[in-house]
Chain A
Amino acid sequence: MKTWSLRKRMVVVSCVVLLAAFSVIYLITKSAYTIASKARIQESLVAQIYSLMAVAEDQDAQLTLREIQRNDRLNNLNSGLVAYVLDVDGDLIWRSRSSDTFAVLPDINHDYSLSYITDSKVDGHDMFWIGDTIIWEHENGIEGKYLFLIGEKQALLNASVREFKREIFVWLSITALVLIVVLAAALNISLKPLQAAQLQIELVSRGDAEKVHGNFPKELRPLTDSINQLLAGEAQQKARYRDTLGNLAHSLKTPLAIIKSELPEQLDERSRSLKKQVERIDDIVKYQLNRSVVTAGQTMRRKSEVNPSIKKIVDALRKVHASKSLKIDLKVEEKSFFPGDQGDFMELACNLADNACKWAKSQVIITISKQANHLIIKVEDDGVGVPEEKRALILNRGKRLDQQAEGQGLGLSIVMDIVKIYHGDLFIERSTMGGALFELKIPV
């Protein structure tokens, strides 16, 4: 539940609220309708009992009503409306024709009234009753008590309530559906900036964009602005860092260059040792400074396209190794991206390619391709290659600088370092051209 997206939360909450609201509306409407219907029934039954009383006559000191009534529902069987006139003992004085299907008489012990409906069962049917006891003065002056009863089958009301329920259910459902659609659309509109921000942030974190672009509502702006500030700050800091390191390198190396340039041409024991120490200091500076500019593991991932930089690299290497007249072949798969800073990519590719150029007799092939989730950089040459026993040694380098054999160069140590930081792998094989094949696998 905690991990539900905002959209999901809002949809679920709106649907629940909507359903609850409509259920309440449904229940209220239904009971209001039932109450109103009962009141109407009571009214109409009272009116009919009065018209029955109005047509009652006195015949030979007997209360009589005509068998056929003006209200046709009282004459028809199955109309659901029945009427009785009973005396105080419960004996039948008169019954409407429509009551002929009832085998028994209504129970006179119930409390019948004009002002409320009495529910009771007669002959298995649920009925609403309205009744009134009147004192009748016969022609002969004797007074008699009679109970006028009129009842309607409850089934009639139930059927109309059912019909009403069905209808209201259909309409409420349609309304709810329409509301849900409208709500979803409204949700979409209000969530749109959020979605845009999400997309932008994703682009940035995947390294596809430098910063978060676009105008956002004021609730989101602090977030997007902070991200941009963070990114800009980071870039600025990195530039400053690079600059400082560059200056540091410059101020460390110029004195070293002077010391070296002051050594006599013919080296004696002392100056040879001095030269060695200068070179050692140089190596340490080179290695440590290079290490510290490697930028993997930043807050936001950078992604740099391989193509422009690798072409620059090859041009540069052609210049540097121009005296060897090497053939440098370059095969780069379209839209290959290195998952990090361009400087790191250059460091990796250049060190490998520069080594290959140094060892190659006449040809170097650089192949860059994408494979599943990896960027593959292959550099091979037609030189002497790396003997198998030395491969492990090379791959384990980068830890102990002071133990390196002279003349091995720092290039591969730096490569190993960067590869580790990017969680990549380096393999050394034999090229089909006879020389070494270095294969780099960097997870993208």
Chain B
Amino acid sequence: MKVLIVEDELRLRENLVDSFKKAGYAVESAENGEDGVFLAEEYPIDVAVVDIGLPGISGLEMIAELRKKGNQLPVIILTARDSWQDKVEGLSTGADDYMAKPFQFEELLARCNALLRRTAGFASPTIQFADVELDTMAQSVNKAGASIELTAYEYKVIEYLFLNPKKVVSKTELTEHIYDQDFDRDSNVLEVFVGRLRKKIDPDKSLKLIQTLRGQGYRLNPDYLQK
């Protein structure tokens, strides 16, 4: 999952970038609204965290700009203003959630995860296909109740697939969403991740949860989609 952080205060931005990276997100960051709009338009961002009090165009104006361009990127606004009028204003401008400063990073992360799930159409923090259950809060995967040990990148791959269940996800798209912009990408590495992931969740190859569509990418087996 790729998060865009738009915050003008350098120290806070750096801390957020670090924390999100530690939490397994790919991160893009900008210090002003103009750059924020550019990044959101040019890169495959899954969720954005935007400070309202930006220099130049404000966070709200940035969101309005994105929405005007038809960009439905889910956005969490960071606000130092506590009045509900400001929060309501932000939410009705197009933000999807808010976080009042100062905040606990864990809560921001939880809200980001929840927002991603919601955007994918899931209400609860756990998503299940066949007997494989993904817990976005704990960032863990269970199969038939038994925990499966995954590396950070393996988790990112299965999380992205679970959150985009009806979609054929190309290798490029997957790479973009799990790596930072400046990361040296290699699609062979991705194939290795998917191969290992398959082995871990489907050792006897009976489930066939992750399908490969030649020349197109990966998708979840449509037989297991409830909806």
Contacts and interface: CB of A to CB of B under 8 A. Distances in A.
A260 B82 CA distance: 17
B101 A257 contact: yes
B36 interface: no
Contacts of B104: 260
A323 B74 CA distance: 14
A261 B88 contact: no
Contacts of A293: 83
Interface in A247-282: 247, 249-254, 256-262, 278-279, 282
Interface in B65-102: 78, 80-88, 91-92, 95-98, 100-102
A392 interface: no
B114 to A, nearest CB: 5
Contact of A278 (B84, B97, B102, B123): B102
B111 to A, nearest CB: 9
A312 B88 contact: yes
A279 B95 CA distance: 25
B118 interface: yes
Interface stretch (B9-17, B127-135, B140-148, B210-218): B9-17
Chain A interface helix/strand/loop/mixed: helix
A72 to B, nearest CB: 105
A261 B9 contact: no
Nearest to A282: B102
Given A254-B12, A258-B9, A261-B105, A346 B96 contact: no
Interface residues of A, number: 41
Given A260-B103, A319-B91, A343 B85 contact: yes
A84 B10 CA distance: 134
Nearest to B86: A246
B85 A346 contact: yes
B164 interface: no
A421 B164 CA distance: 51
A345 to B, nearest CB: 9
B101 A253 contact: yes
A286 interface: yes
A249 B9 contact: no
Q: Which of A282, A325, A354 has the most CB of B within 10 A?
A: A282
Contacts of B117: 323
B11 A258 contact: yes
A261 B16 contact: yes
Contacts of A323: 114, 117-118, 123, 125
Interface of A: 246-247, 249-254, 256-262, 278-279, 282, 285-286, 289-290, 293, 309, 312-313, 315-316, 319-320, 322-323, 325, 342-343, 346-347, 349-351, 354
Given A312-B88, A347-B84, 16 more contacts: A249-B81, A249-B82, A254-B12, A256-B101, A256-B102, A257-B12, A260-B104, A261-B15, A261-B102, A278-B102, A315-B91, A316-B92, A319-B95, A323-B117, A323-B118, A349-B84
